Copies of this chain bind each other. A is one copy, B any other.
Amino acid sequence: MRRLPLTLLTASLLLATGAANATTTTTIPAAAVKTAERLRDQALHDNTAYQVVESLTTEIGPRLAGSPADQRARDWAVAKFKALGFDKVYTEPVTFPLWQRRSESGAIVAPFPQPLVLTALGYSPATPKGGLTAQVVKFDSLATLKAADPAGIEGKIVYVDYQMHRQKDGHDYGMGSAVRVAGPVIAAEKGAAGYLLRSAGTDAHQRIAHTGVTGFRDPAKAIPAAALSNPDADQLDRVLAYGKPVTVKLALDCGIVGEYTGANVIGEITGRKHPDQVVAIGGHLDSWDPGTGAIDDGAGVAIAMAAAKLIHDLPQRPDRTIRVVAFANEEMGLWGGRAYAEKHAKEVRQFQLGTESDFGAGPIWRMSASVKPQAHDAIMQIAKVLAPIGVAYDAKRLGGGGSDLSQMHAKGMAALTLTQDGTHYFDWHHTSNDTLDKIDPKELAQNVAAYAAFSYMAAEADGDFGSAPGAFKGDGAED
């Protein structure tokens, strides 16, 4: 996951204000609701999703966008869709800058020489041969960095010390990711030689650094940037507290080496009545390289594949198509999601409803929706089916569609958000610790239950959810 779902509480909320503009009311036939309830209950005892994420993380492991494992992961996804019996399996190309990580290390040079556990950030350039050695200047927040005089920054390594804490909705990542994405750009603009942050992670006692993308868009203006593990940030804080100048050496061998064309991998359960109308679900296939991408986002791919597989196994196909997208290179800037939205923008009316799973494998506890007023009843029907598995509908929040599918929502696709319990997500997110053992098979199955039930209902609905070009601009879902 790169970005949190939209939480624009100030936006106008059409659902809450009734269906004044609706001409017809969308509902889900009683038979479809019953089938959805069966799918939901069946999913709780189905371990397909766990088998899928186990297969992906074991057979492919880490799959950094553009790495040799990227190709292996695509081959895996095509083969897995086919093995699960999807009606149609295909890929769509996605082109992006190819960033490579070759090696990384760091150390306090003075006054107390010792190594530091750190990891280079996405799009960070390499340090010069022999490393970058410079004095550290610390900021407690992004705001103080923004306000700082460049004179105190020039030629130094800027260190921003923002500490994330655990929350169910993971909201500290709003600031944590800003420190990682925007911080390096601001530091570079002020003449910094390098950038360090306290990892955007909630594992306060683990000597494991959290990688992630920076906001560097112009390689000529980028500076070496890395994240310290939380205990290493504590240590740097203690060393700085002695009040002497602190010198750090960064040795990062990484950088953009060209362009790469990967692909979104797509599998479909073809609709019986309206094959060209789709319910879009998915996750992203790429992962950061230190872990095996289990919670980010093997789980999302597995949840969507397993939900569609349950629908596939019904006696007959649903009215509309269930489309599962395993997106390319979400991690380094929603490349797969943006390519997908550009390619399919003109078909936006054919997207009945969509949402992506990209916040780990914890149980879903909240549903929110960005749909048009005519879909109010249908949303309430979906909410009623999901309530028994612990999902509460929050009518005051918008749905954003998830990370990559946020881009299709921005084009006008009606979208849900199914919010997972992210209490521990940022313990492991973007680290070597993102491994299969962090997934509870029962919690994963609860996710599948929600995705299977809502997808089926949306596919069987009489009427639509309001998708249209630019339909959700008022919600902050700007293109």
Contacts and interface: CB of A to CB of B under 8 A. Distances in A.
B204 A437 contact: yes
B207 A433 contact: yes
A117 interface: yes
A358 interface: no
A324 B431 CA distance: 42
A432 B61 CA distance: 23
Query: What class of interface size applies to chain A in its complex with B?
Result: 20 to 34
Nearest to A438: B205
Given A238-B54, A437-B231, A291 B207 contact: yes
Contacts of A112: 58-61
A234 B436 contact: yes
A62 interface: yes
A113 B292 CA distance: 12
Given A62-B114, A62-B115, A235 B292 contact: yes
A6 interface: no
A58 B431 contact: no
A206 interface: yes
Interface string A95-123: 00000000000001000111101000000
A461 to B, nearest CB: 41
A239 interface: yes
A435 B207 contact: yes
A280 interface: no
A471 to B, nearest CB: 43
Contacts of A61: 108, 112-115, 235
Interface in A68-97: 68-69
A307 to B, nearest CB: 24
A208 interface: yes
Given A231-B437, A433-B231, A437-B231, A58 B206 contact: no
Contacts of A235: 58, 61, 292, 435-436
A292 B68 CA distance: 36
A202 B236 CA distance: 28
A310 to B, nearest CB: 25
B292 A114 contact: yes
Interface in A174-207: 204-207
A437 to B, nearest CB: 5
A26 to B, nearest CB: 44
A318 B239 CA distance: 37
A291 B62 CA distance: 26
Contacts of A115: 61-62
Contacts of A435: 205, 207, 231, 234-235
A386 to B, nearest CB: 30
Contact of A432 (B69, B108, B207): B207
A57 to B, nearest CB: 8
Which residue of A69, A231, A239, A431 has the most chain B CB atoms within 10 A of its CB atom? Answer: A231
Contacts of A60: 112, 114
A466 to B, nearest CB: 43
Nearest to A231: B435
Contacts of A59: 112
Interface string A229-244: 0010011001100000
A25 to B, nearest CB: 49
15 contacts: A58-B239, A59-B112, A61-B108, A61-B113, A61-B115, A69-B113, A205-B438, A206-B206, A207-B291, A207-B431, A207-B432, A231-B433, A234-B436, A234-B437, A235-B436
Interface of A: 54, 58-62, 68-69, 108, 112-115, 117, 204-208, 231, 234-235, 238-239, 290-292, 431-433, 435-438
> Across chains A and B, which 8 residue pairs bring their CB atoms closest together, nearest first?
A61-B114, A207-B432, A231-B435, A58-B238, A207-B433, A59-B112, A205-B437, A231-B437
